[in-house]
Every structure is written in structure tokens, then in C-alpha cells.
């Protein structure tokens, strides 16, 4: 019983870590896209 609880906890932890890393990658991508767009609009203004 104790072992299965630990296993469930570790699986949960791993799943959480994967979700968090996916979210961070997504945010980084969005930031890069936003920066590129900002650069383009700045270049057009100049």
C-alpha cells in the first residue's frame, strides 16, 4: 500500500513537471514571436 502511494506520488510529480515544462516552452515561443513582431513593427516605423 505504501509503495503504491509513493509510485502514484512520483507519477503525479513527473506529470506535473512535464506539464510545467510544456507551459514554459509555449510561453517562450509566444515571447519570441512577440519580440519578432515588435522588431518588425519597429523596423517598419524607422
Average pLDDT, integer, range 21-37 = 95
Check pLDDT > 70 for residue 30: yes
How far apart are the C-alpha atoms of 40 and 24, rounded to whole Å?
24
| Cα separations in angstroms, 24 against 15, 41, 46 | 14, 26, 33
How far apart are the C-alpha atoms of 20 and 46, rounded to whole Å?
39
Between these two residues, 35 and 3, which has the higher pLDDT value? 35
- Identify the pLDDT of residue 21: 97
Q: In 10 A of CB 8, how many CB atoms? A: 10
Average pLDDT, integer, range 23-44 = 90
- Identify the pLDDT of residue 12: 94
Average pLDDT, the chain: 89
Check pLDDT > 90 for residue 40: no
Sequence ranges of the domains in the chain? 1-46
Amino acid at each position: 500500500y505504501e509503495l503504491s502511494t509513493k509510485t502514484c506520488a512520483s507519477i503525479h510529480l513527473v506529470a506535473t513537471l512535464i506539464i510545467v515544462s510544456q507551459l514554459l516552452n509555449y510561453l517562450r515561443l509566444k515571447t519570441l514571436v512577440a519580440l519578432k513582431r515588435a522588431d518588425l513593427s519597429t523596423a517598419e516605423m524607422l
